[in-house]
Chains A and B, each alone.
Chain A
Amino acid sequence: MKSLVRILAVTQKEFLQLSRDRISFGMVVMIPLVQLLLFGYAINTEVRHVPIGIVDLSNSAAARVITEQVRVTQVVDIIDHYDTPQEAEQAVIAGAVRAVLLFPRDLPRRIASGDTVGQWLVDGSDTTISQALLSLRSMPLQLSAGAPAGAYQRGNPSFEVSLFFNPERRSAVNIVPGLTAIVLTMTMILFTALALVRERELGNMELLITTPIHPLELMVGKLVPYILVGLVQVAIILGLGHVIFRVPFAGGLAALAVSTLAFIAASLTLGLIISTVARSQLQAMQLTIFILLPSILLSGFMFPYEAMPLAAQWIAEAFPATHYIRLVRAVVLRGAETHLLGGELLWLGGFTVLGLGLATARFRKTLD
């Protein structure tokens, strides 16, 4: 009986404390809600609307007919046309499109002889995407007006498919570079958020704010060590990934360093913003998880970005991890150089500058 009273007393006290910790209380509702929506939207292994480009060297009516039939499958979205295979390849490397459908000059002859009518050049690094495109290889084609679909039976598949960057279709090739984004998101945000909140909890902050230090000096000074931490982590993941899982390293170190530094800066900034909101280390941790979950689920790390509904894609764009995953895969797997990555880099840079401004503005050198 007494035991029950004590248990109830502890329970009641926990409820009281929970109801007074507004951020934690909010998380009780927000975490299941957001999780549900994220998983519901993001987990979609049925890939549709993969962005592709077309190179039509034949310049024939047949090519246009085939293109239209590929389009109506809805597996792909045709977002661009290129004049030369070289141009198309650059677009694949930059990540603008996931694949290119190439029609050769002798298309009419190939149709006549029942040969393959075109070639898919596919970015194979994401196995889910390449699987979806491989399914188009033997799609039935209707090549003469009036004939019913599929009536044109052929012994050969309709297309040839060349998988670039990951011909063996091993998932580690795609996962390992993406993992750097997840690990960095987790550690960079958490470290900075905790470092500042801890100083506030321990009282160090009260001392620091009575000194002539400028908030920006304090913040930048705090971030520098974690930049090094982040670089070490990336080196470990990609180094061991290369040795153990034979993940290729196609790109240049400079491009990788620039991308990684931009992402680390953005993540650290996010941690700073959290630290200006969170009142305790527990709250800082919860807010970090709140950022981490969508970064894992929506960034394209686990599920292809293209498979998500438009709303989820917009949300994904807001997270630095989405941009870094594109960058790191482009550099590591496809050997992209910095000039192809301007957009993503610019986004991360802008995020950092805005975030740093916001955090500095929110950081008050008073205890009001």
Chain B
Amino acid sequence: MTELAIKAQGLTRLFGDLTAVDAIDLQIERGRIFGFLGPNGSGKTTAIRMLCGLLTPSAGEVTVLGHPIPRQAELLRREIGYMTQKFSLFTDLSTLENLRFMASIYGLPRSRRKGRIEAVLAQFSLQELRDRRLDAMSGGQRQRVALAVATLHEPTLLFLDEPTSAVDPENRRDFWEKLFDLSAAGTTILVSTHYMDEAERCHQLAILERGRIRRDDTPQALMSALEGRVVEVSGESLRPLREILVTQPEIISAAQQGNRLRVLMTPEVEDPLQCLDRLAGPGRALERTLARPNLEDVFMAATAKGGPA
């Protein structure tokens, strides 16, 4: 037994000319919720598929739950749960029918099958939906069923590929409460997302962009690393100001949020407020304050202007 649930070194996958995943290293401790944050096409799904043995890596070493992958992928399958990005349960079957089917496929002993099904129905508040067909359910309800199915055989490692992309914020919050329950019970969870609020809930976060991991730390550490580099500006004519700012080498990003402009500066800038005044030029009535960095800033800092800043 290793302490690490997932250990990957130089994990790479090529599709023809395209390098979907480019030499990523991962060390994920058992019992944690580890997040992949990245835009579409950043390699999140490809990385997850390689980690659960669905895709053969073009290069790199992977050990998942002590199994070298892809060699022992078949052994790993009993210990993992996988929620695909595209909803993959049988929509013309009911909750109970899907659960029964998957329980048999995973080879749960007959004596345990009923108990486990009742347990997940209760755990994910699905009793009311037990006989409803999945094609008559909302996105949030379906995701609960999918999570119930993924955890039915009590996997020690869960792969969730953008599990909440079709779910409203409230249901998303409930969904995450369930994830924390599972995590507290010892399950390691690898979740990919492009939602900042979701990423912030992870114990640890890897920011992916164009197949590379740009940052890998706790969300808090990632955010505090940007302390003193984010300025919020309010005042007149923010659109023209933004046009000026985004062309400047000192500025990583400038994004408007309502009537404020959120400006992220490079680490080389010593006094952000002064720098901003200089770049904006004279004659503008601007109110500007240092702001607490958020994950979006982290994401922009990690990915903008051609790679690690």
| Interface positions of A (Cβ within 8 A of B) | 202-213, 365-368
Give per-residue flags for B80-122: 1 if the beta carbon is below 8 A from chain A beta carbons, else 0: 1010101111110000000000100111000000000000000
Complex interface: chain B residues within 8 A of A367 (CB): 49, 54-55
Complex interface: chain A residues within 8 A of B70 (CB): 366
The answer to whether the Cβ of B160 comes within 8 Å of any Cβ in the partner chain is no
Interface size on B, residues (CB 8 A): 24
**Given A207-B88, A212-B74, A366–B53 Cβ distance below 8 Å?**
yes
Whether the Cβ atoms of B89 and A207 lie closer than 8 Å is: yes
Other-chain residue from A207, A211, A213, A366 in contact with B84 (beta carbon distance below 8 A): A207
Whether the Cβ atoms of B54 and A206 lie closer than 8 Å is: yes
Other-chain residue from A204, A210, A365, A368 in contact with B90 (beta carbon distance below 8 A): A204
Whether the Cβ atoms of B106 and A210 lie closer than 8 Å is: no
Which B residue's beta carbon lies closest to that of A206? B84
Other-chain residue from B55, B86, B87, B107 in contact with A366 (beta carbon distance below 8 A): B55
Which B residue's beta carbon lies closest to that of A213? B105
Contacts A/B (CB < 8 Å), 29 sampled? A202-B88, A203-B88, A204-B88, A204-B89, A204-B90, A205-B88, A206-B86, A206-B88, A207-B82, A207-B88, A209-B54, A210-B52, A210-B53, A210-B77, A211-B105, A211-B106, A212-B78, A212-B105, A212-B106, A365-B54, A365-B74, A366-B53, A366-B56, A366-B70, A366-B73, A367-B49, A367-B54, A367-B55, A368-B56
Other-chain residue from B55, B87, B105, B107 in contact with A208 (beta carbon distance below 8 A): B105
- Tell me the smallest distance from the CB of B280 to a CB of chain A, in Å: 47
Complex CA distance for A329 and B244, rounded to whole angstroms? 86
Complex interface: chain B residues within 8 A of A208 (CB): 105
Whether the Cβ atoms of B55 and A368 lie closer than 8 Å is: yes
Whether the Cβ atoms of B82 and A210 lie closer than 8 Å is: yes
Complex CA distance for A2 and B77, rounded to whole angstroms? 56
- Tell me the smallest distance from the CB of A55 to a CB of chain B, in Å: 60
Complex interface: chain B residues within 8 A of A213 (CB): 105
Complex interface: chain A residues within 8 A of B80 (CB): 210
Whether the Cβ atoms of A211 and B86 lie closer than 8 Å is: no
**Given A203-B86, A203-B87, A366-B70, A211–B56 Cβ distance below 8 Å?**
no
Complex interface: chain A residues within 8 A of B73 (CB): 365-366
Which A residue's beta carbon lies closest to that of B102? A211
Complex CA distance for A206 and B48, rounded to whole angstroms? 12
Extra 8 A-B pairs, beta carbons < 8 Å, given A205-B88, A208-B105, A212-B107: A202-B88, A204-B89, A204-B90, A210-B82, A212-B74, A365-B73, A365-B74, A367-B49
**A-contacting residues, B30-77, CB 8 Å:** 49, 52-56, 70, 73-74, 77
Complex CA distance for A207 and B152, rounded to whole angstroms? 13
- Tell me the smallest distance from the CB of B90 to a CB of chain A, in Å: 6
Other-chain residue from B77, B78, B84, B106 in contact with A203 (beta carbon distance below 8 A): B84
Which A residue's beta carbon lies closest to that of B159? A210
Which A residue's beta carbon lies closest to that of B80? A210
- Tell me the smallest distance from the CB of A220 to a CB of chain B, in Å: 14
Which A residue's beta carbon lies closest to that of B78? A212
